[in-house]
Structure 1
Amino acid sequence: MSHRFRFGVVGESVRTASGLTALARRAEELGYATLTLRDHFVAEPFGDQLAPVPALTAAACATRTLRVGTLVLANDYRHPVMLAKEAATLDHLSGGRFELGVGAGWLREEYLRAGMPFDPAGVRVERLEESLRILKDLLSGGKTTFTGEHYRVDGLEVFPTPVQAPPPLLVGAGSPRMLGIAGRHADIVGILPRALPGGTISEEISERMPDAIARKVALAREPGRDIELSLLVSPAFGPDPQACAERIARRRGWDAGLVPDMPTQFLGPPEHIAGQMAARRDRYGFTYYLVSDRDMEAFAPVVALLA
């Protein structure tokens, strides 16, 4: 099934209550579908961040139709029972406008500075998969019993019952195992570069090339499941797409000839970018694109053309 295009904003530069509500109202006014927030409590590498769940509650209360979401919560920072309670409450308070994004956690420096053990990737991923099963059961409104290696839940129900029962679940994934888990459990799969064992995200250009993205999409596609595919993108605007590609290549140290075909790169005037997105929907299936709030205004004409 082909999904319709929709677009989201990542509130990366929001630092105040007034800035948050202004951003949410402007995103809604411009036709964006979602406002999302990251989940970090150290300043590097994205700058200081508001805590996502209370901040998104404020954003939902300041708007009427805008959906709000986490991009993404680190599973290790919250027990799934407590997260289900928060997610159900936010979905209830927003009138069914919440999307729950969860990942395995990857930023080693953040774990260490908080005094939390940064377990091997396999352990963190295993824990995430158990958590996803618990979250889906609890947020579906039924009584949940679960016994796993990392979590045990005995006959719990979540209150309040979420309006969406369950809210859409997004999982960000870049490695083969994570992509398989996302394909089995998520409604939305955010395709990412690989998280590295040392606690950073891969900067390799190979992670961003068409063949690599196509392989990741194939790993996330589970027979019988209709997932929405998502990317966080960095558009480069200007009258000449090639000049935009050269500008990006100089900044990133890439070969300018490779940039125009990268699925995460969109270049040129809005009409050209809209055409690129239509072509990449046909090739890969991506329909849900997110941009930084710094790009929100410049990207709005693309939203108007496609949303």
Structure 2
Amino acid sequence: MTIRLGYQMPNFSYGQPVRDLFPTVLAQTREAEAAGFDTVFVMDHFYQLPGIGTPDDPMLESYTTLGGLAAATERIQLSALVTGNTYRNPALLAKTVTTLDVVSGGRAVLGIGAGWFELEHQSYGFEFGTFTDRFHRLDEALQIIHPMLRGKHSTFTGEWYHTDDAMNEPRIRDDLPILLGGGGEKKTFALAARYADHLNIICNASELPRKMDALHQRCAEIGRNPKTLDVSFLAFLIIDENGDRAREQQQDMFSANGVDLSALSAEQRRQTPADRQFAGAPDEIVEQLQTRVFAHGVNGLIVNMVTNGHEPGAVALAGRTLTPLVS
């Protein structure tokens, strides 16, 4: 099953007691499953990200959370968007995601990226290294993980990792999908062309034409048909039957970070996260996505709903609105 419409939960600050946190996550997942989303994602972070909250805001460990969701859902695929490669030994990660696949009956996706949040590395004692280091590590990790997900033993010696006849049993299948996430036109896209089944592009919407051109170049460099690599875009969705209310929520989110969105010019907005946000009523959202995203050759969409996704009915509204765009 491919990823055409995904729902990401990057925010666990629901104003509830901790004991109610996971039930709210589960409720969103079940609502997404019923509303036509094919995949649900959680972030692989230990602290909340800048722009969404503060480091001490609630953040659940991803694979424990996904295991809990697997036992309480039936059809929806499960993944991190994306697993930080620096946080886990790659052979162990292959075992972890394969176990999730077994537990869920074949619904796991390995979403993976190089890692970037330096504060988490410092706090938890993980080596951060340079930008180049992290991509060398990701390349080596994929050389270990890819065969282990395909039923092969892994023997590898690199600068960062090594394995010696590493086995990965049991498995339900030998084609567990690999998703790379990011916007790096040289390193991330090159690794996606070599190893991935799916690329989730994370960038401002105005950058998409250049990103798609770069991806086609990376595929051409290794002789891969770009049509064999599914591509989605990560969008921040603020949807409400009342479009003005949705735009007010967007303005409030920026105001909380000290930015008056209404004072920015169109060019200034393109330089901010507002350029990857889609706010309004359902018909407005459809028009925005068609012109700003799907017109550039993207064939999938992953959305998060930071402002109101935890409110009952919000994910269902998004599903009704978005499913026709990806069917």
Q: Could you state the TM-score of these two structures normalised by the residue count of structure 1?
A: 0.82
Choose 215-224 or 69-78, whichever is displaced more. 215-224
Cα separation, partners in 2 of 1:253 and 1:103, compared to 1, 3 Å? farther
The match for 2:278 among 251, 266, 291 is 266
- Equivalent residue letter for 2:225: G
Distance 2:170 2:3 in 1: 30
Choose 268-277 or 82-91, whichever is displaced more. 268-277
The match for 1:50 among 60, 63, 68 is 60
CA deviation vs aligned residue, 1:61-115 (integer Å, no higher than 9, x gap): 1111111110111111100111111111100110111111111110111111122
Structure 1, unpaired ranges of 5+: 194-207
The match for 1:24 among 20, 29, 54 is 29
1:78 and 2:88 matched: yes
1:288 and 2:293 matched: no
Choose 251-260 or 225-234, whichever is displaced more. 251-260
Distance 1:239 1:41 in 2: 34
Distance 2:189 2:120 in 1: 24
1:214 and 2:209 matched: yes
- Equivalent residue letter for 1:301: R
Distance 1:160 1:133 in 2: 20
1:227 and 2:229 matched: yes
Cα separation, partners in 2 of 1:168 and 1:293, compared to 1, 3 Å? farther
Cα separation, partners in 2 of 1:209 and 1:60, compared to 1, 3 Å? closer
Distance 2:195 2:6 in 1: 22
Distance 1:183 1:254 in 2: 37
- Equivalent residue letter for 1:178: T
- Equivalent residue letter for 1:264: R
- Equivalent residue letter for 1:233: A
Q: Residue 180 of structure 1 contacts residue 219 of structure 1 at CA under 8 Å; is this kept in 2?
A: no
The match for 2:322 among 290, 303, 306 is 303
Q: Residue 8 of structure 2 contacts residue 81 of structure 2 at CA under 8 Å; is this kept in 1?
A: no
Cα separation, partners in 2 of 1:89 and 1:177, compared to 1, 3 Å? same
Q: Residue 90 of structure 2 contacts residue 141 of structure 2 at CA under 8 Å; is this kept in 1?
A: yes
Q: Residue 191 of structure 1 contacts residue 230 of structure 1 at CA under 8 Å; is this kept in 2?
A: yes
Q: Residue 69 of structure 1 contacts residue 100 of structure 1 at CA under 8 Å; is this kept in 2?
A: yes
Distance 2:36 2:105 in 1: 19
Distance 1:89 1:266 in 2: 36
Q: Residue 228 of structure 1 contacts residue 287 of structure 1 at CA under 8 Å; is this kept in 2?
A: yes
Q: Residue 217 of structure 1 contacts residue 284 of structure 1 at CA under 8 Å; is this kept in 2?
A: yes
CA deviation vs aligned residue, 1:186-238 (integer Å, no higher than 9, x gap): 21212124xxxxxxxxxxxxxx252x322222222313242222222123445
Q: Residue 189 of structure 1 contacts residue 220 of structure 1 at CA under 8 Å; is this kept in 2?
A: no
Distance 2:4 2:268 in 1: 25
- 1:116 is matched with 126
Cα separation, partners in 2 of 1:257 and 1:173, compared to 1, 3 Å? closer
1:172 is displaced (CA, Å) by: 1.4
SS at match of 2:8: strand
SS at match of 2:28: helix
Distance 1:270 1:86 in 2: 38
- 2:158 is matched with 148
Distance 1:209 1:69 in 2: 23
- Equivalent residue letter for 2:280: G
1:239 is displaced (CA, Å) by: 4.4
- 2:287 is matched with 275
CA deviation vs aligned residue, 1:277-305 (integer Å, no higher than 9, x gap): 33432323242222236444152331343
- Equivalent residue letter for 1:61: A
- Equivalent residue letter for 1:303: L
1:167 and 2:176 matched: yes
- 2:202 is matched with 192
The match for 1:130 among 125, 140, 165 is 140
SS at match of 2:109: strand
SS at match of 1:98: coil
C-alpha RMSD of the superposition: 3.1
Cα separation, partners in 2 of 1:122 and 1:96, compared to 1, 3 Å? same
Structure 2, unpaired ranges of 5+: none
Cα separation, partners in 2 of 1:174 and 1:168, compared to 1, 3 Å? same
CA deviation vs aligned residue, 1:129-159 (integer Å, no higher than 9, x gap): 1111211110111122222222222222201
Q: Residue 183 of structure 1 contacts residue 219 of structure 1 at CA under 8 Å; is this kept in 2?
A: no
